[in-house]
Amino acid sequence: MKRRVVITLMVCGLMAAIGVVAGAVVLLHRSGPPVNAPIVVTIEEGQRFAQVADELAALGVLRFPQLLTLWARATGQDRDVRWGEFLITTPLSPLELLARVTSRPDPLHPVTIPEGLTVREVVGALAGAGFGAEESFYCLLDDPAFLAAEDLPPEGAEGYLFPDTYSFPLATPPDRILRAMLKRFRDVATPALVMKAAKLGLTLHQVVTLASLVEEEAHRADERRLVAAVFVNRLRRGIPLQSDPTVLYGREPGDRALTHADLHRPTPYNTYTIPGLPPTPISNPGRAALEAAVDPAPVDYLYFVARGDGSHQFSATLADHNAAVARYQRHAH
């Protein structure tokens, strides 16, 4: 009698186990949630599969991360995950997702954002490289919630889309691209840089704004800290910065001609008529300009004028500056 009970229990246990396995197999083959827009899954080198499964669940493409993790471990496929970016465009079952992340990642497409571009020019470069319509980027960049979530000023992202070479799959969502650029900025704007800014009496936003002026004015690496010094010296003495690129900010591309009337026209960005820095950066500066802005050269220069060869003549007095202007303007004509 006891033996019959034991056998019965064993059979029931076996049937239950078979039922559990069968149920798990059904779930592993069941199609995943709907995918309303392309989703890019990024897997870092050395990332554990359990973390990958949790990310897939967080992105809304996987319903049973623990089950898939157990299956991957049982079959040894958890050790076959590739690192890189994987594009998900259609609903996939857990097993199809496992096959996806253990196969070749999607090819990446590079895009180079040079130093000194405005946000409008950056968006144009991203759209031109095939990463989506300009409107899709502006929908985010004009969204106060997106700006607040990324700890950006309410005026916008000007100055914070860090110039660099990036690589993404072509269908990467615009928010992922923008966040990658903002993360690169934060990687450069280190606590040490912020501390240097504070020693100059400047906030991070003011430093980014100052760096954007340095980026536009200094065309030679050896002059960045000198240009920064001129602006910092003027700020300390309450002298208008009188930077031509600020007058040009906001104009249509190609419209670079300045008139005497332009220099005297009051606008929020005209540093001939406003005191101090403009309200926002006028471009997206690179690392060198940011570092120069917090480490200006130890000089007493207050003026500079273009020599016409990409370099500048720096002066400490107005008399010397006027003489330099006369000399180089005469040569220009």
Domain that residue 116 falls in: 109-188
Q: What is the pLDDT of residue 5?
A: 53
Residues 143 and 168 in one domain: yes
Q: What value does the mean pLDDT take over residues 236-245?
A: 94
In a domain, 326, yes or no: no
CB neighbourhood size of 100 (10 A): 19
In a domain, 316, yes or no: no
Nearest Cα neighbor of 307 from 213, 223, 215 is 223
Domain final residue, candidates 82, 106, 130: 106
Q: What is the pLDDT of residue 23?
A: 58
In a domain, 24, yes or no: no
**CATH number reported for the structural domain that contains residue 90 in this entry:** 3.30.1490.480
Residues 114 and 171 in one domain: yes
Task: Flag whether the pTM goes above 0.95.
Answer: no
DSSP per residue over 29-82, as a string? HS-----SS-EEEEE-TT--HHHHHHHHHHTTS-S-HHHHHHHHHHHTGGG-PP
In a domain, 320, yes or no: no
Q: What is the pLDDT of residue 17?
A: 46
Domain final residue, candidates 172, 188, 204: 188
Number of Cα atoms under 13 Å in the Cβ half of residue 250: 11
Looking at the 3D structure of the chain, how many domains does it have? 3
Q: Kindly state the tokens that stand for 94.
A: 């857990």
Q: What is the pLDDT of residue 10?
A: 56
For residue 167, the SS3 value is: strand
pLDDT band for position 171 (cuts 50, 70, 90): confident
